[in-house]
Chain A
Amino acid sequence: MKNEFQVIADLIEKDKKVLDVGCADGTLMKFLKDNKNINIRGLEISKEKVQECIAKGLTVIEGNAEKDLKQFPDKSFDYVVLSQTLQAFLNPELVLDELLRVGKKAIVTIPNFGYWKVRFHLLFKGTMPITKTLPDEWYNTPNLHMCTIKDFFHFVKSKDIKIFKSLALNNLNTSIINESNLGVKNLFADLGIFLIEK
């Protein structure tokens, strides 16, 4: 399991109720279910991925986060997880609001467009950056609204969303992001993980 999922799992206490939005093949769900006794649900848009989740014995709903989160009552999950998908929505702000309505807390991870390799790629090659967390070409990427760790940090603050924890990931290294080191983390992390609440 990738390091990102381990960090997410460490943020969630045992025996909680969790919704994994865009749960893909259910790797994180299965880990949370087996290791932390989490009452876990998934929402996934891809039919193939839904089938993979069912084969793992996971409860998953085929659906689209932009349309289908509204069916869940307010604060009906302890945590709602959204891993590296926020930038792919037509309206990320709306989805973020929905995550925070449905979940008591939300864990959102974003691929960092401020990562130095991304900046160097654009600066020196002059073409759209391709990295480990941003593997697609400009013409086939699902990403519509790329942002940096700094962008997201300022964005949630401006919306009066409480940040409990913000973590910077660079390969296997995890470190805490705060106001004073934001500029450095924004340069050296390829992934940001935010535990937030509204």
Chain B
Amino acid sequence: MNTEKNIKTLIVKKPLKLDCGKTIKDFPIAYETYGSLNSKKDNAILVFHALTGDQFITGINPVTNKEGWWSYAVGPDKAIDTNKYFVICSNVIGGCMGSYGPSHKDPDQKIFGTNFPVITINDMVNAQYNLLDHFGIDKLFSITGGSMGGMQVLQFISNFPDKSKTVIPIATTSSHSAQNIAFNELGRQAITADSNWKDGNYTSNDTNPGKGLAVARMAAHITYLSKKGLQEKFGRKLQEREDLKFGFDADFQIESYLRYQGSVFVDRFDANSYLYITRAMDYFDLAKQFNGNLSEAFINTKAKFFIISFTSDWLYPTQENKDIVIALNSIGADVGFVEIESDKGHDSFLLDVPDFLNALKNFLDKSYEEN
């Protein structure tokens, strides 16, 4: 899975102490860039991807041959305009698109599987911080990302308060809720219940826990959409048939759609990575790192924040995004906030939602003009 060409890799020599206590070194971070870094090196934007994303934000992903996950938002003249900005994105550690993860080999040349150390959002951003040195960037113009990407945004600015001028967390939370953890656990249980999982020691593609991973993806996919969105798109429409078949085949279009989503996901994602990354999300509780006071996480930064949520997002609802706004206001930070009207659920940040894309573009471009 990690042997594809077209993957740019930075080998991080410096040891990184992980939250679990273990230390990793000489590990790879796979990244991609778009646009070009200007001579002042003040136009760089670091994008953090969500649970199943990767470094290939826009254009055709050379590994999957599909559109990048944020093609609506990133590209020439788009909200994150690559004619103007130098956009960097890297695969999180624990991932499966080239960065150090459970499908890599340990020093004894044995595939890690579940022997890979458990990683956190904090570990992910500490690893990615090495990209700034690699590109010789002293200060980023912006950091942004949605969902788990937003968690990394919050953790990054907390860890490195003077390393970005602007900060844009989108559809995210500062602390994974019980409901969030519950859905992730459902996905993990589906994977580990697949007899091909073998305690994480599956090896070839033939024997991987694809069925479990597909079920995990199907369950998660429902949480990314809204009830209204699903009803409007599928309703009770039947799948290529005139009437119910009185069996357990996919009678309804929604069933067929979910099965398809599950099957294509299995082709591009590693089951053990899914376990590791969902665990990192569940462990995320930024306030807890500061004795329960979220404001303390941002006390040292002068960055300008812009927080965006969506009306129909019930996975990371507006209130959880607003809690971050409140924490920032209580310390007099520079923070703007908008809730975008959309019935596309949590996935809104990935889709063609003009109000969202306009707000993102206007915030970035106006902030850059003031530079």
Q: Which residues does A use to contact B, with CB under 8 Å?
A: 41, 47, 50-51, 54-63, 71-73, 76
A50–B338 Cα distance when bound, in Å, is: 7
Interface residues of B in 106-155 (CB under 8 A from A): none
Q: Which residues of chain B have C-beta atoms less than 8 A from A71's C-beta?
A: 325-326, 329-330
Q: Which residues does B use to contact A, with CB under 8 Å?
A: 304, 325-326, 329-332, 334-341, 355, 358-359, 362-363, 366-367, 369-370
Report whether B329 and A51 are in contact in the complex, using a CB–CB cutoff of 8 Å. Answer: no
* Least distance between A189 CB and chain B CB atoms (Å): 35
* Least distance between A66 CB and chain B CB atoms (Å): 15
Report whether A56 and B337 are in contact in the complex, using a CB–CB cutoff of 8 Å. Answer: no
Report whether B355 and A51 are in contact in the complex, using a CB–CB cutoff of 8 Å. Answer: yes
Q: Which of A54, A56, A61, A72 is in CB contact (< 8 Å) with B359?
A: A54
Determine chain B's interface SS by DSSP, over half rule. Answer: mixed
Report whether B326 and A47 are in contact in the complex, using a CB–CB cutoff of 8 Å. Answer: no
Given contacts A47-B341, A54-B362, contact A59 B330 (CB under 8 A): no
Report whether A51 and B338 are in contact in the complex, using a CB–CB cutoff of 8 Å. Answer: yes
Can you sample 10 A-B contacts with CB below 8 Å? Answer: A47-B355, A51-B355, A54-B359, A54-B366, A55-B358, A56-B366, A59-B334, A60-B336, A71-B326, A73-B331
Q: Which of B330, B332, B336, B369 is in CB contact (< 8 Å) with A54?
A: B336
Q: Which residues of chain A have C-beta atoms less than 8 A from B304's C-beta?
A: 59
With A62-B338, A76-B332 given, name 7 new contacts (CB 8 A).
A51-B338, A55-B362, A57-B367, A59-B304, A59-B335, A71-B325, A73-B329
Q: Which residues of chain B have C-beta atoms less than 8 A from A57's C-beta?
A: 362, 366-367, 369-370
* Least distance between A25 CB and chain B CB atoms (Å): 13
A59–B305 Cα distance when bound, in Å, is: 9
Report whether B332 and A73 are in contact in the complex, using a CB–CB cutoff of 8 Å. Answer: yes
A54–B307 Cα distance when bound, in Å, is: 12
A58–B359 Cα distance when bound, in Å, is: 11
A60–B304 Cα distance when bound, in Å, is: 12
A45–B286 Cα distance when bound, in Å, is: 29
A126–B362 Cα distance when bound, in Å, is: 48
Report whether A63 and B341 are in contact in the complex, using a CB–CB cutoff of 8 Å. Answer: no
* Least distance between B183 CB and chain A CB atoms (Å): 27
Given contacts A47-B341, A71-B326, A72-B329, contact A61 B362 (CB under 8 A): no
Given contacts A47-B341, A51-B355, A56-B366, contact A61 B336 (CB under 8 A): yes
* Residue of A with least CB distance to B359: A54
Q: Which of B325, B329, B334, B339 is in CB contact (< 8 Å) with A47?
A: B339
* Least distance between B359 CB and chain A CB atoms (Å): 5
Q: Which residues of chain A have C-beta atoms less than 8 A from B363's C-beta?
A: 54
